[in-house]
Amino acid sequence: MHALEDPLAKHLAAQGVIVLDGALATELERRGLALRDPLWSAKVLIEHPRAISDVHRSYFEAGADVATTASYQATIQGFAQRGLSRQRATELLQLSVRLACEARDDFWADVERRAGRVRPLVAASIGSYGAFLADGSEFRGDYSIGEPELVEFHRERMAVLAASEADVLALETVPCLAEARALSRLLREFPGARAWLAFSCRDERHTCHGELLVDCAAELESSAQIAAIGVNCTAPRFVLPLVRELARATRKPIAVYPNSGERFDAATRAWCDAPQRVDFALHARRWYDAGARLIGGCCRTTPDDIRAIATARITGRA
C-alpha cells in the first residue's frame, strides 16, 4: 500500500460503481470443503490454498472488481491456538494476499477480459474480534473487552496486511461502535493504508450491538484513511434503508454486501432457514440509486449473484 492513494476513488472515477465479490467460506463449502472449525476459511489457507485461488478466479470471471482475501478469520491469536508459530501465522496471512493477487494477475493477463473494465483490486480482509471468538458475537458485539484491548488484538494482523501487496483493507462485519473506533484509531499507525469499514446490522437502523448506524457513520466521517463506509453480512431486506441512513451521515462512498438473508446458528456453525431467493440485479439497482457505490455479497452468495450485479446495467457498468 502506498501513502495518500485511494484505490477506490480511482475505480469509481472510471466506472461509477465497484462490484465486490461474494462469499468465500460458504462458497468453499458449496464446493465440498469442510469448514466447521474455529478457523473457518483460514483453515483452507493451511490445507487447500489452491481452492481459494479458484474461488477468487470465479468471482473475477463473474465480473467482480475486487477479490477479498481469505484472512477474515485468520488471526495471529487464532493460529496460535492451533499450535502455529507467529512466523507461520504471518506467512499464512501473506499467503492469503498472494493468492488473491495471483488470481487477479492471471485473470488480467488475458487482454480480451480487459474490455470495459478497470484492473481489479485486492482487499485484505480484517474480520471483527467476534470472528476470532467463533461464537457468533460478530452478530452481537457483546464483547468482554474494551477499545484498548481491541486495538491490541487487531494490531499485529493489520501490520502484516498493511505491509502486503493488497490495495485496500476490508474491515468487515464490525458489530459495534467500540470496535469501529478501535480499528479507526489503529489505522493511524499505518498511514499508507486505506480501508473500507462495514458494520453488521440487526435491522433497518441499528448495528448488531444496537447503536444507530447513522451515528457510527458520523463518527467515522473525519477519518481520511477510511475510504468507504457500509454494511455487510446483513439481511438484504435491511440494506436499502441502511443505505439511506448512511447517506444522511457520510459523503464517503457507501459499501453494501449483504448475506443471502439466512440465519447463522453460532452453536452449530451452520446457516439455518430455507435458502432465500434474492434478485441481486434488482436490489443492486435500488441500492445504487439510494447511494451505494460498492456492491457485492457476503455469506451464502455465489458467483452467479455477483454476475447478476455486474450485469445489472448500473451506471458505469452498463
Q: Do 78 and 70 contact (CB within 8 A), yes or no?
A: no
User: For the chain, what is the mean pLDDT?
Assistant: 92
| pLDDT 10s digits, 86-136 | 999 999 999 999 999 999 999 999 999 998 899 999 999 999 999 999 899
Does the pLDDT value for residue 252 go beyond 70? yes
| pLDDT 10s digits, 25-45 | 889 888 887 777 777 777 889
CA atoms within 13 Å, Cβ hemisphere of 13: 5
Q: Give the residues across from 198 on adjacent strands.
A: 230
Q: Give the residues across from 232 on adjacent strands.
A: 257
Q: Compute the C-alpha angle 14/183/71, nearest 5°.
A: 70
Lowest mean pLDDT, pick from 77-81, 93-97, 218-222, 273-277? 273-277
Question: Containing H/E element for 305?
Answer: helix 303-310
**Domain range list for the chain:** 7-310
| pLDDT 10s digits, 258-305 | 998 766 655 555 656 655 678 999 999 999 999 999 999 999 999 999
Nearest to 241 by CA among 280, 286, 305: 286
Locus of grid cell 458485539? 141
Question: Under CATH, domain 7-310 is a member of which superfamily?
Answer: Homocysteine-binding-like domain (3.20.20.330)
List all residues 6 or more positions away from 226 whose beta carbon is below 8 Å from its beta carbon. 184, 187, 194, 195, 196, 197, 220, 252
> Grid coordinates representing 290?
439510494
CA gap 230, 218 in Å, rounded:
12
What does residue 92 show for φ and ψ, rounded to 5 degrees? -70, -40
| pLDDT 10s digits, 129-186 | 999 998 999 999 999 999 999 999 999 999 999 999 999 999 999 999 999 999 999 9
Q: What is the pTM of this model?
A: 0.94
